[in-house]
Amino acid sequence: MDDPLLMAARAVRENAHAPYSGFKVGAALRSVTGNRHVGCNVENVAYPEGTCAEAGAIAAMIAAGDTRIAEIAVIADSPEPVTPCGGCRQKIAEFADGDVPVTMATTSGKILRATVSELLPGAFDTGHMDRA
């Protein structure tokens, strides 16, 4: 696994706070400016209050002053590559064009690639809010 984003996602995954599920996830994205931002899942005993790895990476990107995603990678220790949850797909779509690549991987090396549009066809966007 020599993909720099996957390597960054793998490394940050180790910092995940997952004492309830034991399911650690890491995410790394590259912004259009070339900066790399990472995030890991952070569980909370009040389960809905946790944060997904992808959301953490996006928050880090915004906090650093970047606003657009050029590519993103997600990794977890699972039998098959894990896709971002529905909420994270929408979060990614907020900051990425539809053709932005999403790489999903397992810690054992299985890889699945898709675009944002393939993961979230019909994404809700600002066009849905136009009131003509």
Known catalytic residues are 54
Q: Is 15 annotated as a binding residue?
A: no
Q: Is 40 annotated as a binding residue?
A: no
C-beta of residue 42 within 8 angstroms of C-beta of residue 59: no
Q: Is 44 annotated as a binding residue?
A: yes
Q: Is 88 annotated as a binding residue?
A: yes
Q: Is 47 annotated as a binding residue?
A: yes
Tokens of 68: 């657009």
Q: Is 42 annotated as a binding residue?
A: yes
The phi and psi torsions of 115 (rounded to 5 degrees) equal -100, 165
Nearest to 41 by CA among 9, 13, 60, 83: 13
Q: How far apart are CA 23 and CA 30, in angstroms?
A: 24
Which residues define the annotated binding site for Zn(2+)?
52, 85, 88
Which residues define the annotated binding site for substrate?
41-47
